[in-house]
Amino acid sequence: MTYTVKEVSGKMGITPYTLRFYEKEGVIAPVERNKNGERMYTDSDMDMIGTVQALRSTGLSLGEIKQYVELYHAGDSKLQERKSLLARQKSKVEDQIVLLMKTLEKINYKMALIDAQDHRFDKLP
- Give the model confidence (pLDDT) of 31-48 as tens digits: 999 999 999 999 999 999
CA angle at 109 for the pair 104 and 112, rounded to the nearest 5°: 125
**Rg for the chain, CA atoms, rounded:** 22
Burial of 118 (0-12, 13-18, 19+ CB in 10 A): exposed
Fill in the DSSP letter of residue 31.
Answer: P
pTM for this structure? 0.79
CATH level 2 (architecture), domain 1-57: Orthogonal Bundle (1.10)
pLDDT digits (tens, 9 = 90+) for 56-114: 999 999 999 999 999 999 999 999 999 999 999 999 999 999 999 999 999 999 999 99
Other Cβ atoms within 10 Å of 48 Cβ, number:
19
